[in-house]
Chains A and B, each alone.
Chain A
Amino acid sequence: MIDDTTVRHVARLARLRLDDAEEQVMREELSGILEHIDAIRAMDLDGVPPTTHVIELENVLRADEPRQGLSQEDALREARAVVDGSFEVPRMD
């Protein structure tokens, strides 16, 4: 079960502003989904290593040579606000 405090904590971590009604629905739905997911907490996994990559690759590196990246014009093209060739953001307090 997930309680209201956990929902608010996780929403803050995820940078999601939820209203009160959304918080309540989220608590109920996440609790419901976790009941199913909890099946994996009962499995015997002793000595089983985690999988992070299904196809093993080693040392995928490219030559360290300068090359053309995105132009400044392209990089800023879709931004909501641009000042002096930079992304503009509100205060950070």
Chain B
Amino acid sequence: MGLRDLSATEQIGELAAGRVSSLELVEAHLDAIARDDVEAFLAVDAEGARARAREIDALPERPPLGGIPLGVKDALSTRDIVTTSGSKMLEGFRPVYTATCVARLEQAGAVVVGKTNMDEFAMGSSTENSAYKNTFNPWDHARVPGGSSGGSAAAVSAREVPWSLGSDTGGSIRQPAALCGIVGMKPTYGAISRYGLIAFASSLDQVGPFARTVADAALLLQHMVGRDPMDSTSLEWPTPIEVPVATDLAGLRIGVVEELMGEGIDPGVKAAVEAALVKAEALGATIVPVSLPTALSGLATYYVLAPAECSANLSRFDGIRYGPSAEADNLLDQYEVTRGRLFGPEVKRRIMLGTFALASGYYDQYYGRAQRVRTLIVREFAQAFEGVDVLASPTSPTVAFPIGDRTADPYAMYLADVCTIPASLAGLPAISIPCGLSDGLPVGLQLAGPAFSENCLLDAAHALEQVIAFDTCPPGLAT
């Protein structure tokens, strides 16, 4: 066992016991990041991280997160550290402020070591849409890590950091967590400030944690939730996030979403999820089938709403105030040529789709109808939660797929998020935990709950994690 094999909680424990310094922990992880066998990082701030670790080591009292390393998705702004959101449109961009969630974690003693690779502007499910490079799945380097937060997931799985931040619009935390065999959580919409998160679809975007244990994810979440005057959609958090300790599921009613256990779900994925549900029953949970009839329409709904919102949000990238730009004789040419050259194919596709869905003559047929389907999905979840406490499903319909397998067919790529999108549309918290292997690759179990049910979800996920006893270490990983 090396330092990198320790969970975040264990690393904090070692620091508290004086057996290791923050600088030693940071160095151990920076060593691995320097090799970065899975190409998880886009930028590394080694000097900044060392300086911060030394500062924390010199404090009379350690802050709650002790001074352990943190990976941050490149969609989150970090002052003076290049932040590209995976796009050539922001090549070399140095933000002038730090995202609130990152600042809160730094305040609590997290040491940002670098920025992780992602699909350009968080649009994608494999990290292959990064304008810079592919990231590899630590379980099989010929396969994708999932996306869009694939760098953050791969970095945690490959033990280059004990934990990291991602953002999730339609599944971009949960799906890569599932494909890399780690824990990922998207909290209730508004739980964490979006200030400093480079916007994709503002009614859906949420920041959340990646970790190798549920307790670690809870700890990271604990220090991020709550109102931020800089984000008017951020919420006063009603009850503090607790680090989960539950050992059974007595009295918990788990609904299994029938629509997400049928056609299109790989048999090996379904089998691993069913095996986990048997374990949940043995821990005292009641398992009942639940129907969300509109869940499968979530994908089509999402691919109207998210592109529509992105087409508005990405209008800010004009090459004038930040980022590179094309030279042109007049302003309109400069806008069009800059955007045409510097956005990648998927981003252009979504801007076009969204602009189309909002255009005069199409608005009511597409955007207006999608907003109404969203209402049906919200209502179906609310009705389901009258009878059950949490809803279970696979996180991803398949295990990690080979690099290049879906890049030629946009819709095949979109299907990767079919299980995660419904909870996103309803703004609900959902967590993915590894629940087994299929063909030697990790399978994720998704648990979703009503708004503000984070503590219940974390407890359930933690109790299940103990009996599933999944080994998060990818085969052949040298630490």
Interface of A toward B, CB cutoff 8 Å? 2, 6-7, 9-11, 13-19, 22, 26, 29-30, 32-33, 36-41, 43, 45, 48-55, 57, 60, 62, 70, 74-75, 77-80, 87, 89-93
Q: Are A50 and B348 in contact (CB under 8 A)?
A: no
Residue A10 contacts which of B334, B356, B376 (CB distance < 8 angstroms)?
A: B356
Residue B322 contacts which of A9, A26, A54, A78 (CB distance < 8 angstroms)?
A: A78
Let me know if B93 is at the binding interface, CB within 8 A: yes
Give Cα A39–Cα B436 distance, bound, in whole angstroms: 34
Contacts of B315 in A (CB 8 A): 15
Q: Are A40 and B93 in contact (CB under 8 A)?
A: no
Q: Are A51 and B349 in contact (CB under 8 A)?
A: no
Query: Within residues 341 to 378 of chain B, which ones have a CB less than 8 A from any CB in chain A?
Result: 341, 343, 348-349, 351-353, 355-356, 359, 365-366, 368-376, 378
User: Can you report 15 residue pairs joining A to B where beta carbons are below 8 Å apart?
Assistant: A7-B352, A13-B359, A14-B339, A16-B339, A17-B339, A26-B348, A33-B303, A37-B304, A40-B373, A41-B369, A51-B374, A57-B190, A70-B97, A87-B320, A92-B332
Of chain A, the residue at the smallest CB distance from B323 is A78
User: Nearest 6 A-B pairs (CB), nearest first?
Assistant: A54-B427, A50-B371, A17-B340, A78-B322, A17-B336, A74-B96
Contacts of B351 in A (CB 8 A): 14, 16
Can you name 11 extra interface pairs (CB under 8 A) apart from A30-B356, A53-B203? A9-B359, A16-B336, A29-B410, A43-B297, A45-B372, A48-B375, A50-B368, A57-B190, A60-B232, A78-B322, A90-B329
Question: Are A79 and B321 CB-contacts (below 8 A) given A55-B235, A90-B331?
Answer: yes
Contacts of B370 in A (CB 8 A): 40
Q: How many residues of B contact A (CB 8 A)?
A: 69
Contacts of B340 in A (CB 8 A): 16-19, 22
Contacts of A15 in B (CB 8 A): 315, 318, 332, 335-336, 339
Give Cα A87–Cα B320 distance, bound, in whole angstroms: 7
Give Cα A52–Cα B321 distance, bound, in whole angstroms: 30
